[in-house]
């Protein structure tokens, strides 16, 4: 990894590296959460600066975004790590059938969970609208509209 005093740190391929604070601001995760993902081996930074600061590549940042997408859907950290490892395994040619099948299983599970949360969001949206109507009607001097 090359790094000059006046420039951003780079990989040996000349790609930019980002410090943890920059990554946190960029994607909206806390420093603590990013450090936790490193501790449990979900997303490990690609390098460290001479001063010991974590350095992340665009690929690392993309992995963090994938974690952000899976976490609210109820995936456990072990499952998230498995999905990321399976995605990494797509870099081999030919892709093993077992890798493709496991990714398809996770994709189907993600669709199922997304649809479940979509239904919950529709119910929450309807309840919110109903409640706003009740509040508005209760605020009028004549009371609720028949």
Written as tens digits, the pLDDT of the chain (146 aa) is: 444 434 566 666 667 899 999 999 999 999 999 999 999 999 999 999 889 999 999 999 999 999 999 999 999 999 999 999 999 999 988 999 999 999 999 999 999 999 999 999 999 999 999 999 999 998 877 755 55
SS3 label, residue 6:
coil
Give this prediction's pTM. 0.78
Q: What does residue 43 show for φ and ψ, rounded to 5 degrees?
A: -135, 110
The answer as to CATH 1.10.1660.10 being correct for domain 1-66 is: yes
* Ranges of each domain in the chain: 1-66, 90-146
CB contact at 8 A, 144 and 138: yes
Position 141 scores a pLDDT of 75
Q: What does residue 46 show for φ and ψ, rounded to 5 degrees?
A: -75, -15
Q: Is 143 left (phi over 0), alpha (psi -120 to 50) or beta?
A: left
């Amino acid at each position: 990894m090359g790094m000059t005093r006046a420039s951003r740190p780079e990989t040996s391929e000349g790609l930019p590296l980002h410090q943890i604070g920059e990554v946190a601001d960029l994607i909206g995760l806390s420093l603590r959460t990013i450090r936790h993902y490193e501790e449990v081996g979900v997303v490990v930074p690609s390098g460290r600066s001479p001063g010991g600061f974590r350095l992340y590549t665009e690929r690392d940042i993309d992995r963090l975004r994938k974690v952000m997408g899976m976490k609210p859907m109820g995936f456990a950290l072990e499952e998230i790590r498995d999905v990321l490892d399976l995605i990494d395994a797509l870099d081999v040619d030919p892709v093993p059938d077992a890798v493709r099948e496991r990714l398809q299983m996770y994709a189907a599970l993600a669709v199922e969970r997304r649809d479940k949360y979509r239904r919950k969001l529709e119910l929450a949206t309807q309840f919110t609208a109903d409640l706003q109507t009740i509040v508005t009607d209760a605020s009028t001097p004549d009371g609720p509209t028949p």
